[in-house]
């Protein structure tokens, strides 16, 4: 599961950092981080997909959010027994605390 998360988060972090650095043209002397490369990449992808390049960043963001929900849903499904045990313990502790408070406030 650890490698699954690493292989999921690594490309997202790489894409996010490239997008942020190239969008604001913080290139550090690397062509791929320039605004020109940023615009070129989105023009190429837009041409391949047949949509305007301005529409691509929101689509990529929606895909990342959707994939993130899938990944966290898979993690929650795999750990459902641990989550259920934690939830039951939390409810029992809360109920015990509420009963202790009601006993101490009685006249």
Q: Is residue 39 a part of any domain in this protein?
A: yes
Q: Cα 54 to the chain's mean position, in Å?
A: 22
Residue 69 domain boundaries: 2-78
Q: Which residues of the chain are modeled with pLDDT < 70?
A: 100-107
Predicted confidence (pLDDT) per residue in 31-41, tens digit: 999 999 999 99
Q: Please write the tens of the pLDDT for every residue from 77-87.
A: 989 999 899 99
pTM of the model: 0.73
Tell me if 100 is assigned to some domain: no
Domain presence at residue 23: yes
Identify the burial level of 22 via C-beta atoms within 10 angstroms of its C-beta, where 0-12 means exposed, 13-18 middle and 19 or more buried.
buried
Total domains present in the chain: 1
- Does any domain span residue 44? yes
Residue 24 in domain: yes
Q: Residue 89 domain-assigned?
A: no
The answer as to whether 33 is a domain residue is: yes
| Residue 97 included in any domain | no
């Amino acid at each position: 599961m650890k490698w699954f998360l690493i292989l999921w988060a690594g490309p997202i972090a790489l894409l996010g950092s490239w997008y942020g650095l190239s969008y604001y043209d913080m290139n550090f002397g690397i062509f791929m981080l320039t605004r020109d490369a940023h615009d070129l990449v989105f023009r190429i992808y837009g041409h391949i997909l047949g949509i305007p390049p301005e529409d691509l960043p929101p689509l990529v963001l929606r895909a990342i959010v959707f994939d993130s929900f899938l990944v966290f849903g898979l993690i929650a499904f795999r750990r459902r027994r641990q989550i259920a045990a934690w939830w039951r313990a939390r409810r029992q502790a809360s109920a015990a605390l509420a009963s202790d408070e009601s006993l101490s406030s009685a006249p």
